[in-house]
Structure 1
Amino acid sequence: MIYAYARLTVNKPDALTQYREVADSALAKHGGRVVAAAREFNALDGSPDAPDAAAILSFPDREAALAWSNDPELADVHALRRSAGRSDILLLG
């Protein structure tokens, strides 16, 4: 199992709503799923710059995560997420 951290700064909430409608099935295509998601945060240490939304994603392995990210059939889904605002996703490992 491998995880990814998704961090979004949202300037188009409607686009984010549309993305959420298709995100789960796009992740599932490559064995991925949302482990946790939040729009409210509490700093446990330091003074981090909190995003508008964040999620922890899980994938069976690194190859599945990369396949999800690079799948040409999911290009519109990724473009929709990016259209909501800034989208940063880090593969953890």
Structure 2
Amino acid sequence: MVYAYVNLPITNPDSFAAYREKAGAALAKHGVRVVTSSPQQRVIEGSRDETGVGVILEFDSTEAALGWINDEELKEVHGLRQAAGNGAITLLG
């Protein structure tokens, strides 16, 4: 298994709402499992830029994660997430 950490500070709630409507199907297409999701994060050591919605995603492999993020059919869905705020997705593994 490979995991991804998503940090998305929301600056456009409308775009985020539209993304959430389509995200489940986009994740399911690539067999992605949401391990946990929280609207609040708390840094307990060190410092970092702004936090927002935090999500841990589970993929079967690195290839599956890259397939999801690079899927041309999901370009619109990824665009909604990107328009929702200045986030980052970090692949762990």
TM-score (norm 1): 0.90
Which position in structure 2 is the counterpart of 1:78? Answer: 78
**Amino acid of the structure 1 residue aligned with 2:77:** V
Which position in structure 1 is the counterpart of 2:4? Answer: 4
5+ residue gaps, structure 2, are none
Aligned-partner Cα distance in 2 for 1:71–1:47: 33
More strand per residue: 1
Secondary structure in 2 matching 1:86: coil
5+ residue gaps, structure 1, are none
Which position in structure 2 is the counterpart of 1:38? Answer: 38
Moved more, 59-68 or 40-49: 40-49
Same amino acid, percent of matched pairs: 48
Q: Deviation per CA, 1:38-85, whole angstroms, max 9, x where unpaired?
A: 112233334444512110001111110000000000000000000111
8 A Cα contact 2:41 2:54, kept in partner = no
1:60-75 residue pairs with structure 2 within 5 A? 60-75=60-75
Cα 1:39/1:50, change in 2 over 3 Å? farther
* 1:32 CA displacement: 0.5
Aligned-partner Cα distance in 1 for 2:72–2:47: 38
1:22 correspondence with 2:22 = yes
Aligned-partner Cα distance in 2 for 1:33–1:24: 10
Q: Deviation per CA, 1:4-56, whole angstroms, max 9, x where unpaired?
A: 00111211011111111111110111111211111122333344445121100
TM-score (norm 2): 0.90
Give the superposed CA RMSD.
1.3
